[in-house]
Structure 1
Amino acid sequence: MNNLQKIGGASALFESIIYVSAFVFFGAFWNFPADTDSAKQFAFLAENQVILSIVNLIMYVLFGILLAVLVLALHERVKANNPILSQIASIFGLVWVGLVIASGMIANIGLAAVLELSAKDPEQAMTVWLAIYSVVEGLGGGNEVVGGLWVVLLSFAALKGHELPKILNYFGLFVGIVGVLTIYPAEVLTEIFGISQIVWFFWLGLAMLTSSKR
């Protein structure tokens, strides 16, 4: 049990690092020419395809794998006092895992497909790219309802079972509620969820690494 908690704690810390790395990459290094024509945009994507594919793998696929470990570790931690609530939370957690990993694979496969199409018809390729981008955002980028439900239910179960620090659980309720509210298409909600979840993952990771289940 203790080993699983340590692995889960390390996974939570890596989740926060991935979040921060994604913010830094897209905020400081990714300079997509949004104001130019389709041909120049696809030329930029083709030039940066490798790095973007790697970022997608880390940001979605690796994140999802670590999330699966964390979901299992947290389920084992809180199930004794709240088995039903823990199981429901874990269902949403595992669904989120699948959505996040699927988003990364769709993003990379879609990128390769539209770059091939752009050599023949840049305008049609842009239409396809926008459709793919909408799917990726809907599954794991711009809509965080499933992840929010997992955090809310998990925090509530941990709070009732006196697992994890109480303040952390209250903060988790806030993070999860914001995630659920992202069903409304407002970018500010997604940003608040992302930033607050960085703090939550980091805090959760430290809590799991420094304390074992009683």
Structure 2
Amino acid sequence: MTTTTVTRPPSTPSDASAALERGAGVAALVKAATYLVGFGVMGAYLAPRGLLDVQGDPAASLQFLLDNQGVMYGWYLVLYLVGGIALVSLVLGVRRRLRGAPALARTAEVFGHIWAGLLLASGMVHLVGQQAVVALAADDRATAATVWASTGVVQDALGGGIEVVGAVWVLLVSVAALRTRAFSLGLAGLGVAVGVAGLWTVVPAAAGVAASAFGLGFVVWFVWAGIGLLRGPRRR
């Protein structure tokens, strides 16, 4: 009895590119989902329970944490760790799609990976800090409140108090998309608007409104970009 060996042809660069872009498309939708979870949990649970009211009061903020440990832990886990991991895949796929503008694509990739690293670092600072503060609060509430306030400043500085890194990434991606038509003009225009909103977060008086516009705009951008990446290269 003879055995026939079937040899599969090696994957081609185009196959690898398509797989990378499909992975990025899924990652973009995951990123959109993390933003929706973030806004949803804030609006439906955390804000009604008084999270915004305790800002600036270390003792009240600590008590809020102790009363809502599980939700706070899960919220930051999804927003920052899941979001940061998904962003790495998205950045790689977007760079591949924008290969027609190599200099811009490479520069955008650097900022995208920096942004992902900041998100991951921010999430880990919060999660480790939360565990340490909860343990400390059992013996020394005053010190725990001080540590929690300090943790919050570091976490916010890394992960969203100022959105410049993410803004620069999406601006570079959008400029490259306008040059190459790798994404639709509408998506590129939205990316420019989101990026400009992110840059405005450096202005304290405008930071609140700008951060909200940045986050909500990115939900739409991630969904739109994800669908475009899953569909494959545009026909120009």
Normalised by the size of structure 2, how large is the TM-score? 0.84
Higher relative contact order (CA 8 A, sep 6+): 1
- Percent identity over the alignment? 37
Q: How many residues align?
A: 213
CA distance in 1, matches of 2:35, 2:54: 27
Quote the Cα distance in structure 2 between the aligned partners of 1:125 and 1:116. 9
1:151 to 1:40, Cα distance in 2 relative to 1, 3 A:
closer
Q: CA deviation at 1:191?
A: 0.7
1:116 to 135, 145, 163: 135
Give the match for residue 203 of structure 2. Answer: 184
Residue 120 of structure 1: how far off its partner (Å): 2.5
SS at match of 1:164: coil
Structure 2 residue corresponding to 1:65, chosen from 60, 85, 89: 85
Question: Which shifted more, 111-120 or 137-146?
Answer: 111-120
- Tell me which of 159, 173, 182 is aligned to 2:178: 159
Mark the runs of 5 or more structure 1 residues left unpaired by the alignment.
Answer: none
Larger CA deviation: 203-212 vs 97-106: 203-212
Q: Give 1:1-214 correspondences, 5 Å limit.
A: 1-30=17-46, 31-32=49-50, 34=53, 41-79=61-99, 81-185=100-204, 186-212=207-233
The CA distance in 2 between the partners of 1:211 and 1:38, in whole Å, is 49
Q: How far apart are residue 35 of structure 1 and its match?
A: 5.2
Query: In structure 2, how many angstroms separate the alpha carbons of the residues matched to 1:152 and 1:165?
Result: 14
Secondary structure of 2:202's aligned partner:
coil
Decide which structure has the larger Cα Rg and report it.
Answer: 2
- Mark the CA change 1:88 to 1:98 in structure 2 (over 3 Å): closer, same or farther: same
Change (3 A) 1:120 1:154: same
1:139 and 1:117 map into 2 onto residues whose CA distance is 24
